[in-house]
Every structure is written in C-alpha cells, then in structure tokens.
Structure 1
Amino acid sequence: MRSTTRFYRLFLSLAFNALMLLESHGFTDESDRQALLEFKSQVSEGKRDALSSWNNSFPLCSWKGVRCGRKHKRVTRLDLGGLQLGGVISPSIGNLSFLISLNLYDNSFGGTIPQEMGNLFRLQHLNMSYNFLGGGIPASFSNFSRLLELDLISNHLGHCVPSEIGSLTKLVRLNLGTNNLQGKLPASLGNLTSLREMSFDENNIEGRIPDDIARLTQMALLELSMNKFSGVFPPSIFNLSSLEDLYIADNHFSGRLRHDFGILLPNLRELNMAVNYLTGSIPATISNISTLQKLGMNHNSLTGSIPTFGKVPNLQWLLLDTNSLGTYSHGDLEFLSSLSNCTKLVFLLISRNRLGGDLPIIANLSATLIYLGLSANFFSGRIPHDIGNLISLQMLGLGGNMLTGPLPTSLGKLSDLGLLSLYSNRMSGEIPSFIGNFSRLTELDLSYNNFDGVVPPSLGNCRILLHLWIEYNKLNGTIPREIMQISSLVNLSMAGNSLSGSLPKDVGRLQNLVTLNVAHNKLSGKLPLDLGTCFSLEELYLQGNYFDGTIPDISGLVAVQRVNLSNNNLFGSIPGYFANFSKLQRLSLSDNNFEGCVPTEGIFQNSTIVSVFGNRNLCGGIKELKLKPCFAVGIALLLFSVIASVSLWLRKRKKNHQTNNLTSSTLGAFHGKISYGDLRNATDGFSSSNLIGSGSFGTVFKALLPTENKIVAVKVLNMQRRGAMKSFMAECESLKDIRHRNLVKLLTACASIDFQGNEFRALIYEFMPNGSLDMWLHPEEIEEIHRPSRTLTLLERLNIAIDVASVLDYLHVHCHEPIAHCDLKPSNVLLDDDLTAHVSDFGLARLLLKFDQESFFNQLSSAGVRGTIGYAAPEYGMGGQPSIHGDVYSFGVLVLEMFTGKRPTNELFEGNFTLYSYTKSALPERVLDIADKSILHNGLRVGFPVVECLKVILDVGLRCCEESPMNRLATSEAAKELISIRERFFKTRRTARR
C-alpha cells in the first residue's frame, strides 16, 4: 500500500514538472506571443515603427519593452511608457498570466480598461497614467491581491471608486488623481494598511472623509485637493502621524484647526490646505514642525495673528493670502522678524488680509526670496529703503495699501523683477527711469496713486512687458514713442492723467495689444492711421480727450468688443464697417461733431449697444436713437411733424400744469439748480462706467461737477416709469427743509428737458464713497472688483444701527413735520469715508400731518404695499396707512439682517418661518449659531462682551419688528438701548484689558 502511494506521488510530481517545462518552453510561450500581437493590432504607433520588433522574426523576449523571466521565459514585464501609442487596450492583455509589471504611462490610449486585466493575478506594478482611458475602474481589479502600485493618474475615469479596491491589501501606492471620479470614498480604503501614498486629487469626489482612513498609519503622502469634500477638517487625519505631505486644498472643508495640530503631525514637509472654509486662528504648534518646507493656508477665513516660524529653518513657501489675519495694528508683522531664520524662503504671500502698521525693515528676509506679496492690506508709511537687498526678487506686490512717498532708489537693484504691483496707494514723486532697466519685467501696475512728472521713455527698454497700468495718477507730458516699441504689450492703460500731445503714429506696432486706454487726458490731434492694424485689440478707450478729424480706417479690428470715442472733437460720417463688428458689445460716439446718416444695419439696430447723442448733425438711424430724419418727403410731412410735436407739448403742459406749479415751489428751496447739459457732461453722457446703482424709479451715476470741483451722486429718474414724478416730488418735498448728519444731503435738483425734448428730472446728492450697507453685508452678490476689501466689525455695525435709529427718531419726532420714510432697507443706507451711515431714497416718503384731500401728497399717493418685500410692515400689506410704526418694523428687520447676515427674503425662510422667528428661536443660548460669521472672524474674541452684545442687539431688533404696531419699540428707545450697549461694550473691553 505504501509503495503504491509513493508511486502515485512520484508520478504526479513528474507530471507536474513536465507540464511546467512544457508551459515554459512550448505552447504557453506562444500564448504570450499571440496576446501581444493581438494587443499590437489595436494600437496606433505614434513614433515610427515603435513596435517594429514585434514580429515572428525576433525572439519574444527581445521585443521592445518586453522582459521575460529567467527560468520559464514567460513575459513578466511590459514597459511601453512614453512611446506615443494610441488606440485601445486589447482584452488579450489579460492572457499574460505571468505579468508582474505593466507600464503604459504617457501614451494616448482611449476606450475603457478591459475587465480581462483582472486575470493578471501576479501583477505588482500597474501604471497607465496620462492616457485618455474612460469608464470606471473594473471590479475585477479586486483580483490583484499582490499589487503594490496602482497609477491611473490623468485619464478620464468616471463613476465611483469601487469598494472592491479595499481588497488590495498589499498596496503601497494608490494614485487615481486627475480623473472624473465621483461619489464618496469607500470605507474599505481603511483596509489598505500598507499604503504609504494615496492620491485622489482633481476629481469630483464629495462628502466627508471616511473615519476608516485613520487605520492607514503608514501613510506618508495624502493628496485630496480639488474635489468637493466637505465637513469639518477630518479628525481621522490626525492619526496619520507619519504624514509627510498633505494636500487637501480647494475643497469645502470647514471648522477650526486643533491647537495641537503640529504635535499630532510632527513629520510634515508640505501642507496645503488652501481654498477651503477653515476658520479660527492658525495653530501656533504648526510653527514647531521643524521639517516643514511648504505651508499653504491661503483662501480661507482664518483670523488672529500669524505665528512665528523661527524654528522652521527649511521653510520655502509661506502662503497665507486671502484670509482675515491681523488686527489692522502695528503688531501684525511681528512674525516677519522670525523669518530671518528661514534662509531658504522663496515664496511669501500674505496679501488680502487685515495686516496693518508701517512696513518694517525687511532686509533680513532670505536672499533667495522670489515672490513677496503684501497687497490689499492696511500697511502705511514708505516702502523700506532696504528692499533692494532682496536681490533674487522676481515678483513684488504692494498694491491696495496706504503707502506714501516715492519709490526708493534701492529698488533699482532688483534686476530680476518680473512683476511690480503698487496700485491703489498714495505714492508720489516721479516714476523712476531705472524701471527701464528691468529687462525681465512683464507687469507694471502703478495705477491709482499720485505719481507726477512724465512717463519715462526708458520704459521702452522693457521689451517683454505684457501689462502696463499707470492710469489715474498726475502724469503729464507726452506719450513716449518708445512705449510703442514694446511689441509684447497686451494691456496699455494711461487713463485719468494729464497727458498731452498726440497718440503716437506707430501705435500699430502693438500687434498683441488687447486693451488700449488713454481716456480722460488732454490728448489732441488726429487718430493715427495705423490704429486699425492692432488686430488683437478688444477694448479701445479714447474718450474725454481733444482728438479731432475723422475716424481712420479701423475695419481690421474684427475682434474689438468695446469702442469709446465720446467727448472728443471728431467729425465726419460714422463708418459703416462698425455694423460688421460681430463681437462689438458697446460703441460710444457721443458728444462729438459727427454728421450724416447713422447706419441701421448690424449693431446699429440695437440702441443699447450704440450711443450717438450729442452730435447735432447726425440723422436717421433706428427710431430708438431719436434722431431727425435724413430726408424730406414734402412740406406736409414736415408740417405734420411740427403739428404733432406742438400737440404733444400742449397735452403735456396741460397735464402737468398743476404739478409744475408745485415743482416750481418745491425746487425753489434748492438754489443753484443745474441743467441737463451740465449733468450729461459731468457723467460722461450718463455712461455705464459711472453707473453706481439703480432702483425702482431711476439710476444713480457718479459725477464730477467742474463748477464746484466736487464729486456727487446724480439720481436720474426714469420718467417712463409710472410714479417716477411722484417719487421725485416726494423726495424734494421731504428733504428740502430737513437737516441731520445721518441724512444724505440733497444738494440740488434738475427739472428740465433733454436734447430730444423729453421730460428730465434728476436729484443731486453728496457722494458716499463707501457705497451702500447692502454691498457690505452681502459682498458675495456683487462683482469682485466692486466688493469691499473687508467686512464690517461688530462695533461698526452697531454704530451704523445707532446712526439709522437716530435719523429715524429725528424724522418721526423732532422734524418740523413728522416724516415716514416707508422704504428703509440696507441698499438705502449709504456709508461715507468714516463708515458713518446716511439714510437715502425718500421716493416713497410721506409727510404724516398732510392727509386731507387737498394735501399735495395725498394727491400724488398710490395705493398698495409701501416699501420692499421683506422690509415692509405687515399692516401695509392689508391696506394700512404709512406710519412711523412701519419704519420701526423696517428698522428691526434691518438690525436682524446686519447681525445675522441673512436677508429677510433668504430661501431659508418659507411660510411662517421668517427672519424674526429664526432669530427668536435661537436666543439667548444659541446666539453664536445665527450670528454673521464674518463678525466672529473679524478679530474679536468670542466670549464676553461679544456674546452679550449680540444678544441684546438682536433683542432690540426683535422688539422693533413685532407684528402689532403698538408693541414695537419707539425709535428713540431703540437708539437709547443701542447706545447703552455700545457704552457697556467699551467699558467691558477696557476692564478686560486691565
């Protein structure tokens, strides 16, 4: 029996060895050959004959990219990376059953990953990165039980990450970045306990990071940037103490960072958490991570001070821009001195924060510093003279501060400078000629300063300059011809200076120019003939000069989108080729001396695109332009026009006889009335560039009154809108005899006719440079260029509320006749230089003691709800008369909006759930849950007195917007309580400092 058993064992052993020998030398070698030939048949070869050796003339193991095992001569490695191969991956590749490594990196394979690849159970290394593979990750990949590396970066893979991926328990490297993966990360990732590198960056993965990731304790690299992850910063990451590189930028992570961040992750080399919603302060323990080389926390909502980094000698990048760091004070830059120990620092960006004080001596910063970004803060004083010691500097951003004085001469030492940005400061002196020595300069922005003198011709030496912005300074002299030698220029803006002379004739050399802006200077002469050869030009602004002659042939500017030639002395006919400019969005030819017929084709069919008023000798055009006809069809037609015009005038005169008498008496209170022509000139023809707001009955323009050299706001009534005349008269009557520091001052008014014979009404107010309260409370709803550079603090909001309450108390009680505003809301509260509030827009106001039938305002009143939805008192919706109680309700809503950051019309509020109930349900315990987060991030310590102040302020708002008018606070009481809150706030803060 035993001998039989031994025989069978020997037989089976010999048979197995024979089969293995046959497999390695015979028929299975042929299966590998056939699999590769089938693979080749579906490949398009980018390089010439890249796979030419793949034929029966060469041994299989000598084919390009093919490696075989020493014993069995089976294909174990296939390396085809970077050969520019295309086509699709054949399923036959799954027949290479001995394959250990497959590299198809950096090719152009399309299609999907074949399921048959799951047969490669011996596979340890798989790299198919940088192709065009689509579809999902095959579930058959779960068979790769020996896989160590999986690289599929930069393809078009979609669908969710399969949960089966958790079965690859030996995986050391997992790279699925730059695809279209969706859904959530599976919890099964926690099974990959051998993993050291994991990347899912640049996908569409959402949701929270699974807690199971805490089990990946060997992890050194974690890349999750540019997805849609949300929730608080994942606490599971703090278990990964071996992490060296962490990238979670550009997601929706929120919450505060733990104070022991640097203790729990002590081995970090690179940390990128930019573009999230992180709040609170930067943990000071981060500055104790001695291995740290790159730190990016920019584009968040971080507050507090910047920690010192003296213990981080290898720091190269420190990116903290676009947060709310700092307290506007001199101590905000104390961290800079510690950076003298960071001798390898290359990038330092702290722009767009709340950092204040004078710029310190920065000579001790690293000599390797390339990028220094300090823009959009509150720095004052002069640029330090020792800035020239930063000899490696290539980019210097100091714009959007309050810097004064001239440019220091040492700046000329920075010969490698490629970007110099100093916009919106208060700098003065001449533009130094040494800037022309910056041969690598690509961007120069000196706009909105007080630089004077001439434009230095040496700028022409900056031969690779792309952007030159020197607008709105005090520059004079001529435009140097040398500027026209900079053929690389894309943007050239010199607007708002006192430049004289002509536009250089060789402007046509600027073949790459996209924007040319020399508006509002003193330029004269004829426009250059070769202006039409700037074929890349999209925006041309020449308005507000003294150019004369005809428009040269610029028909070649087929890419142009905006052309403004208004307010010059140009004459001749309007070229017909403008009609063919398909991309043109705005053409302004107003206030010149053009003559002849206005075209009616192309863009000239749209009066919102074309502006031609102020040219007396123009005719024709579409009827919306309201120009005289270009031809006569007989005396009858002329007489008919005259008769029709006279009849219309008589009807208007009769209709407005009574109102005009009232207008005359009302406007009599405003001395020095202004004409339509004056206002048209002061607003650049009511240009959209001067538009600062619009409302129910008109639009508001910024204007410079040359007679008084004063900037004002001009509210132009839309007389086609029903009720506009009533609004005009209500505003004049309300404001003519009242004076209060918190009212917008009505300077004068205009009751006239325009150049087309239409009624024209306008109100001229003092200009409020800080815009409306609405734009400060909801900056996310306006264009970025118009957004305030910061948010309002708690104290500033409280002061504004007190200002509004004070003026309402004056209107309701202390005015010669009580007045109800009837339309109080944030857009009607304007802010001056000091953020003092001024109530505006009395177009719906009522004099409360004049409600008999003979009353002027009763004659002009209209039925229906008064005010704006959300702010109007509930009794107005039921036909109630305007009253001071209605204003109190609106004020209460305004206070709640100011301190919660929620509009009363927010989509959160439906049915009986309103801003009132939302606030009331949270008081007093949950006040911080409903408070506007920007208040809490504005440099205030959350605790007493902030919490107590918010409770009392919101309670005042609630008591003002009670449903019953009789239960509402009087404005005098509201003002007193708010003032009392402010006094207690200051008292408590002073006590706390002691």
Structure 2
Amino acid sequence: MDSFTWEVSLYFLVQEINAESAGEGLNLLGLATASPVVRANGTDQQALLQFKAKITGDQLKIMESWNSSIHFCQWRGVTCGRKHQRVTKLELQHLELSGSLSPFIGNLSFLRELSLAGNSFYNEIPQQIGRLRRLEKLDLTNNSISGLLSNMKYLVLYNNSLRGSIPPSLGNLSSLEILALLMNGLTGTIPESLGQLANLSGFSIAGNAISGIVPVTMFNLSNIRDFDIGGNKIQGTLPSDLAINMPYIEFFSITRNQISGQIPVSISNASNLGQNYLSGPIPFDIGRLQKLQIFLTDRNIPSNLGKCQNLLRLSLSHNNLSGPIPPQVIGLSSLSIGLDLSSNFLTDELPFEVGKLKNLGVLDVSQNRLSGLLPNNLDSCVSLVKLLLNDNLFEGSIPSSLSSLRGLEALDVSDNNLSGGVPEFLVTFKALKYLNLSFNDFEGVVPSEGVFKNASATFAEGNRKLCGGIPELHLSICISKKSSNTSLRVKIAIVIVILAVTLALTCLLILRFRKKKEQPTTISVENSLLQLSYQSILRATDGFSTQNLLGSGSFGSVYKGILEGSGAAIAVKVLDLLNRGASRSFVAECEALKNIRHRNLVKVLTAISGVDYQGNDFKALVYEFMENGSLEDWLHPSVPANGPETVRHLNFFQRVSVAIDIAHAFEYLHHHCETSIIHCDLKPSNILLDKEMVGHVGDFGLVKIVSADTLNCSTNLSSSLGLRGTIGYAPPEYGMGSGLSTKGDVYSYGILLLEMFTGKRPTDERFKEGLSLRNFVETALPERVVEIIDPILLEESVQRRTIADITLNENSQRNDKHFQCLSLIMEVGLTCSADSPSERMNMSDVVTKLCSILDEFLRPTRLHRGIRTPKAAQPAGNVVFLS
C-alpha cells in the first residue's frame, strides 16, 4: 500500500484494546511481536546503539555524540525520565538523517514520543514498534516509509487540524470498516473511490469544509450503520431509495449542509435526520420506526409518532408548539427516560392518557398554557423522579392519588391557579429534594417535617392563605378558632380591651403625626413575604453602614442587611429623594414588580414608604439577596488586596447560561406579561447572580409599561425621566428622540452579549473615532474570533493546545467547539444590536437561538455517539486513533 501524506503530523493515541492479553503492548499496526522486552537501563542504551547502526546518512554528524564518553540520556535528541533514567523521548526531526528503522526500537519500553519527521528514513515501520505501550506521539511525516496502512480496519483521525482534500487512495483500503475524519479542516470533495469500501460500517467527515455532492456509490454501501457528513458545505439531494440501499442504517446525519429537496419517504427506516434546506413535512410513515429510541424536533409533531412503540425519550421543548397535547403522543407507554414538552404554547388539559407512562422518569410540561384539573391517574406513573408542571394555568387541588409517587425527587407546581390544602402525604416522601408550591392559592397549615423542614428545598411564597411551617418560610402564624362556648363576660371583656387599645393607638398616631415622628408604614407589594419598618431596616443594615454598601446608582444606594430573628440576608435599595426622579423611579418599580413574577427577575420582598427618625421622607425597596453579586463584578472585577490570583471569573458555560437567563427574563417581560414591559436600563450592574449562578434582572426604576396596542403603534413613548438607559447600552434611536420600544431592550441585550464574551465595556477608551464595540466584533467574525474574545475564555479554550496553534491556525478556530459557539453567540449579539430596530431579533427568537447553541456545545461528539470502537471479543485489526 502506497503511503500518503497530509500537511500535519500523525499523532497516534495508543489505546489498549485486547484487555485479555496481559503483559502485551498494543499491536498498533496489527503486526506480530518478537521476543519479550528486557527491562533494564542497559537495554535502552543497546537499543539506541542499534538505532544508530541503521543510520546510513548523517550529514550534520548528529550521531557523533552517541558514544560511551557520556551517558546515553545526554545524547543529542534523547530525553530520559528523572526517576528511572529510561528513555521517554526520541526527537530527531529535520536533521537530514537517512536509513531504516531498527526493530530494536521496540525495546525502548518507556518511550512516549518518537519524532523523526523531515528526514529520509525508508523501508517499512518495524513490527516491534507495537510493543511500545506508553507511546503517545509518533511523527514520521515527510519520510519514505511504507507499509503503514496495509491491513487497516479502523482509521480515526479525529480533531487533528488536517488540511487538504481526502486522498482518493483511501478507497483502496478494502478491509476498512471505520473511516472517521471528523472535526478537521478538510476541503475538496468526497472521492468517488470511497464508494468501493464494501466493508465500511461507519463513515464520518463531520465538522470540515468539504463541498460538492455525495457520490451516489456512497449511498449504496449496504453495510453502513453510521453515516455522518454534518457541518460541511455539501450540496445536492438525497436519493429516494436511501434507506433501501442502506438497510442497516442506525445513525444518519446531514445537518448543517446545503442539501435541498424533500425528505425521502424511505427515510422512515432511518433516524435522527438533521435541520438543512429540506422542504415538506416529516413523512407520516415515521411511525414505522419501531426501534426509534430518541426523537428531537422543532415546530411539528407528526401525528403518527404514537406508533413508535420503542421510543424512550421525546424532547419537544423550546419551540412554538401550540394547541392541545396529542393523546397518542403522551400515551407512549415505552417512554422511560423523559418526556419534555416545556417552554411552548400548548393549551387545554393534560390528557388522561398520561397515566400510561408507567416507566417514565421525567415529565416536564412546564411553561405552557395548559389548564384544567390535574389528572387523577398520575399515580400510575410510578417511576416518576421529576414532575414539572409549573408556569401553566392548572386549577383545583393536588390529587390525593399522587401519594403513591414515593420516588419523586422534584415536584414543581408553582405559578398555577391550584388551591386547597398542602397534601400531608408529601411529608412521607423520603426522596423528595425539591418542592415548589409558590404563587398559587393554597390554604391551611404547612407541615414542618420531611421536605418541609428544609428551607432550601421547599418554596411556598405567593400563597397568602398558608400559615405555619418553619420560620424560614416566613409564613403567618396559624391561629386556632375560639371555642363556641366562650362566656359572654369574656366576650365583653375582649371587646372593651379592643376598644381601649384602638382608642389609645389612635391618640398615639395623631400625636406622632403632628410631631412628624411617625414610624414609616410598610406598603407591601403583592405576595410580599415581609412586613418591615424603618427601624428594622436600620438595624439590619447596621445603620446603613458603608461596610454593607453594595453599590450606588442614579436614584439611590443598595445595602446588604441581615434580619433579626431569622438571620435572613436581604438587599435594601434606599432611594435618594433629593433626586427629583427618585420618587417616580420608586413608583415605577413598585408598579412593575407588583404584577410580574419570573424565575429570572429579582424578587422584591416589600416596599417601605414613610419617614425616618428626623422626620424626612423615606422610601426603600427590599429585595431577595443575591450571594454572587452583579454580572459587572464578574466581568470587570477589581483586584482585591490579597492579589489578582483570587479574582473570580465566569467560564464559557456560565456566561452562556447567564445570557440565556437574561434572555428568558426579557422574553417574559416583552411577550408574556398582560401588558408589555420595557426595562430601559439593561447593563451588567443590573444583572444579579444567586448562589447557583443563575442570572436575575433587577432595577426597574426606568421601566415603562405599555399595552399591546400602544406598543404596536407609532406613538412616541417618551420618558418623563429624561433619556432612558445608560450610555453605551441605550439604542441610538433613543438619542434621536424616537419612542421607547421592546427593540430598545433588544439592542441593550445585544451590546451586553458582546461585552460578556469579549470582556470589553462598550465605553472602553479604545472605542472612539468611529470605532465601537459592535464594529470591533463585526470586523473580526468569523475568522479572527480569537482576537476579540475575553482572554479568560481563550485560556479556557487552549487547555488542549498552545496559544500559537490557535493564533496561527484558523482551522482550529473553526473546529473548536468553543470558537464555533462563540462565533454564533456573537452573531446573535450583532443582530440584536443592529442600528435599525426592524433588523433586530425579538427575545423569543434570541432564547431559541441561544438554547440551540448551548445544546450544540454540550452535545457529545459524533465520534462517541455515532462511531463505535471495536469490542474486545472482535479480532484486532489495524487501529489508528489520532486525537
């Protein structure tokens, strides 16, 4: 077999595949091994001398240092380990050496790297090299060595920055069963010769830049089980007899290409087809996929899906699905991993057929518009671990039949219209670790045992008729009814006492009012958890101590406080009433927050309006305390006194998660409130992070509430507080007198997104004389993304390669998941921050796009998902893994 050379080194990741063969090294090339290896330092010296003996040309006289006058560990190109003085590296690349490779090289049993690139070695690789169990790197590029691929069965060149086109000579490897060239920089077309590989069962070229069409002969490889060409520039159409000619196909992906035409009807015998320019509906015959186990889709639920009796997991979340849930879908008794219909617009009741899900582990129908009573037969779902029904319109009580679901670990029924008492049987659920009953109309006593004794696991706020429970839940005290046989004398005494107390209090209030010493009254926002006074706030913040100051803004300052008794932490925003707009900001924030609630909005606990001890007006808002401060603190941290090494940073996953949290909040404000809410001041300091690093939008002091009719008309919603927003984040149209709109918030979000992933403020001093954060990013995408990303993220991404590799090799940028996702995220930021409001996305589309990007980032590589490594029981052919 003739050798072939690509423009990169071949790195062999040595893995042991014959576990039964104790004491034998990996037979990397499928060749027989010779005599056993002698384990001694002398053996290494002898092996090196035998290597030298095979050198026939040495123009630079490198081998002259290889003599007995110095220890062999000091010979040119030789590196030894410190502990055992055994040879670990042999690096003789580009030294004009010629000759053949000595079989004694197989005796260097501690060798990890063998680099002989750029010389003139010839003949075959000796079979004894298969003994080198510790070998991690083998670089024989640009020599005249042959015999490497003679009996190849598995060729996996995954994520190696390979360039150029696929060699047509690979089509001569008649024994090849697996060919995986995914995640490289390959260009050109798929060679016709690959259609000759009759034994091929796994083929993946995903994540390259290959163009052209797929040769027809490739679709005739009858042994193919895994076929993945996703993420290229491939065109053409799919043959109508696709699944007929590939009868054993199990994994088929053409996602992210330019393939057009209709989905072949024959694909009903295949699975997991990817989102291209294919038109037409998903075929009705998809119901014939009797072995289908996982189904993911967007925007359409095939009615015949109910025939897939082997479906284990069904995920249809975060789409625009509407209408009722088809009974045949929710009644798939085969479902065991999970059924996820969350974050859609599904309506009507939860079908009675849900009781057929006896083996289901997770049922998630949250964030829809489902209504009616909860089905009584949910108790049939005996395997449920998570039941998520939150953010719907369910009503009635929690069915007592749920008492049989003792394996539940999470139950969330928050944000519905449920009523009745809190079920006592929940106390007996030993596995229950999360229970959310918030924002319903439950009434009665809350237990104090089981999950209810854990304040971090139980949530019951927003139920004004509940009482009892542990103190940390901040519920009212339960008061028992007076006995019906209370004597008349006692009743009269009670009335007299009440009248006397009332009269005394009235006189006291009149006196205090006259002296302007009145204690401030508490204006409780709807569903408030606390009733606080100026005095309690003063004590909680240690007299508004500067040590408790969290930050200051246009209309006031925010302090951390610790409530007496409970020890709960709170955040107190004290309004600076000397600022003329502060009172209006207070009213605007109270008005906005009293009717909205969302997991990604900062919760207001109460509002206080009155006078302080000096008789001055006092206004404050009390919020849920966020342990991890603001996004500003994480993106632009100040260096602490104990050194820069203690500075906190957000990693890539955390930044994407927070960006999605913010997008969810604004999607809710813009599209899911009774009246649309425009925040007007989105910036990092107004994004707060809780102890789980979940993002929450705060500071509604500039908020504007508008009806849908007003929002869609051309009326100028000008601000009574002057220019809305903050310089750098406010959209350009506000500065030119245009009216407020949700698209203004979208612009601010786009700038924030670019800031989160570049680490640069829009007001950075470098952005002047026509340069802005937006065009700074726009001119770098997509090829020079490495030049603009936050250095923290760059450091995270290069853990597996050097900075020089990433800087100089644009292919590695294109193929690295971090860079791929970063580019996509920044494109979202650019679209959101377009100068023209009409060109900006809406927040629902932003949520969908970012969730898709995050899903792609977390998705396992096709190498592990679609290409299978051989089992130990199978005969060991030639295996080459490059990683």
TM-score (norm. length: structure 1): 0.46
* Other-structure match for 2:449: 601
Aligned partner letter, 2:149: L
Q: Distance in 1 between matches of 2:601 and 2:259?
A: 31
Aligned partner letter, 1:396: F
Q: Is the 8 A contact 1:304 1:939 kept in 2?
A: no
Say yes or no: does 1:629 pair with 2:477.
yes
Change (3 A) 1:684 1:670: closer
**What is the aligned counterpart of 2:264 among 405, 409, 429?**
409
**Paired residue secondary structure (1:570):** strand
**What is the aligned counterpart of 1:680 among 592, 597, 600?**
597
Q: Distance in 1 between matches of 2:407 and 2:358?
A: 13
Q: Distance in 1 between matches of 2:808 and 2:438?
A: 46
Q: Is the 8 A contact 1:218 1:242 kept in 2?
A: no
Q: Deviations over 1:785-841 (max 9, x none)?
A: xxxxxxxxxxxxxxx69xx598424888999xxxxxxxx9xxxx899996989xxxx
**Alignment of structure 1 residues 327-346 onto 2, 5 Å:** 332=187, 334-335=189-190, 337-346=192-201
C-alpha displacement of 1:371: 0.6
Aligned partner letter, 1:933: I
* Other-structure match for 1:530: 377
Say yes or no: does 1:420 pair with 2:272.
yes
**What is the aligned counterpart of 2:313 among 467, 470, 482?**
467
C-alpha displacement of 1:301: 5.3
**Paired residue secondary structure (1:596):** strand
**What is the aligned counterpart of 1:938 among 799, 804, 811?**
811
Change (3 A) 1:172 1:249: closer
Q: Distance in 2 between matches of 1:832 and 1:578?
A: 55
Q: Is the 8 A contact 1:380 1:401 kept in 2?
A: no
C-alpha displacement of 1:659: 1.1
* Other-structure match for 1:649: 533
Q: Is the 8 A contact 1:318 1:347 kept in 2?
A: yes
**Alignment of structure 1 residues 720-731 onto 2, 5 Å:** none
Change (3 A) 1:649 1:355: farther
Change (3 A) 1:742 1:487: same
* Other-structure match for 1:292: 152
Q: Deviations over 1:643-701 (max 9, x none)?
A: 8975943456998776144382597799999712455248489799xx99963679863
* Other-structure match for 1:479: 326
Q: Distance in 1 between matches of 2:158 and 2:441?
A: 53
Q: Is the 8 A contact 2:395 2:416 kept in 1?
A: yes
**Alignment of structure 1 residues 144-183 onto 2, 5 Å:** 151=22, 172=34
* Other-structure match for 2:362: 515
Change (3 A) 1:532 1:665: same
Q: Distance in 2 between matches of 1:662 and 1:421?
A: 60
Q: Is the 8 A contact 1:406 1:430 kept in 2?
A: no
Aligned partner letter, 2:415: N
Q: Deviations over 1:959-987 (max 9, x none)?
A: xxxxxxxxxxxxxxxxxxxxxxxxxxxxx
Change (3 A) 1:623 1:538: same
C-alpha displacement of 1:513: 1.7
* Other-structure match for 2:794: 901
Change (3 A) 1:617 1:482: same
Change (3 A) 1:588 1:444: same
Q: Is the 8 A contact 1:219 1:242 kept in 2?
A: no
Change (3 A) 1:439 1:545: same
Q: Distance in 2 between matches of 1:770 and 1:299?
A: 33
C-alpha displacement of 1:572: 2.0
**Alignment of structure 1 residues 45-444 onto 2, 5 Å:** 151=22, 172=34, 187=44, 217=103, 241=124, 253=136, 258-260=140-142, 264-268=145-149, 291-300=151-160, 302=162, 306-308=166-168, 309-321=170-182, 323-326=183-186, 332=187, 334-335=189-190, 337-351=192-206, 353-355=207-209, 360=214, 364-365=218-219, 366-375=221-230, 387-388=242-243, 390-398=245-253, 401=256, 408-412=263-267, 415=269, 417=270, 419-420=271-272, 422=274, 430-444=281-295
* Other-structure match for 2:833: none
C-alpha displacement of 1:571: 2.0
* Other-structure match for 2:463: 615
C-alpha displacement of 1:435: 0.9
Aligned partner letter, 1:472: H
Question: How many residue pairs align between the two structures?
Answer: 589
Q: Distance in 2 between matches of 1:439 and 1:184?
A: 61
Q: Distance in 1 between matches of 2:133 and 2:352?
A: 48
Q: Is the 8 A contact 2:91 2:115 kept in 1?
A: no
**What is the aligned counterpart of 1:562 among 410, 413, 423?**
410
| Structure with more contact order per residue of length (Cα contacts < 8 Å, sep ≥ 6) | 2
Q: Distance in 1 between matches of 2:120 and 2:383?
A: 50
Change (3 A) 1:482 1:334: same
Q: Distance in 2 between matches of 1:692 and 1:307?
A: 54
Q: Deviations over 1:554-604 (max 9, x none)?
A: 344344333322232222222234344444443333232222223322333
Aligned partner letter, 1:467: R
Q: Is the 8 A contact 1:206 1:230 kept in 2?
A: no
Change (3 A) 1:425 1:409: closer
C-alpha displacement of 1:370: 1.1
Change (3 A) 1:805 1:676: closer
Q: Is the 8 A contact 1:549 1:571 kept in 2?
A: yes
Q: Is the 8 A contact 2:226 2:250 kept in 1?
A: yes
Change (3 A) 1:615 1:369: same
RMSD across aligned C-alpha pairs, in angstroms?
6.5
Q: Give % identity.
A: 21
* Other-structure match for 2:576: 659
Say yes or no: does 1:738 pair with 2:735.
no
Change (3 A) 1:382 1:337: same
**Alignment of structure 1 residues 482-501 onto 2, 5 Å:** 483-487=330-334, 489-501=336-348
**Paired residue secondary structure (1:938):** helix
Aligned partner letter, 1:695: L
Structure 2: runs of 5 or more not aligned: 1-17, 27-31, 51-83, 93-99, 482-493, 509-517, 523-530, 545-555, 557-573, 605-623, 635-657, 704-720, 736-743, 815-883
Q: Deviations over 1:749-789 (max 9, x none)?
A: xxxxxxxxxxxxxx97757579856986xxxxxxxxxxxxx
Q: Distance in 1 between matches of 2:86 and 2:309?
A: 50
Say yes or no: does 1:808 pair with 2:692.
no
* Other-structure match for 1:591: 439
* Other-structure match for 1:695: 631
Q: Distance in 2 between matches of 1:533 and 1:189?
A: 73
Q: Distance in 1 between matches of 2:403 and 2:369?
A: 26
Change (3 A) 1:674 1:471: same
**Paired residue secondary structure (2:405):** coil
**Paired residue secondary structure (2:272):** strand
**Paired residue secondary structure (1:522):** coil
Task: Name which one, 1 or 2, has greater alpha-carbon Rg.
Answer: 1
Q: Deviations over 1:434-457 (max 9, x none)?
A: 1111122222222xx3x33x541x
Change (3 A) 1:373 1:130: closer
Structure 1: runs of 5 or more not aligned: 1-128, 132-149, 155-160, 162-169, 176-180, 194-204, 270-290, 327-331, 747-762, 777-799, 816-823, 838-892, 908-927, 942-994
**Paired residue secondary structure (1:554):** helix
Change (3 A) 1:218 1:484: farther
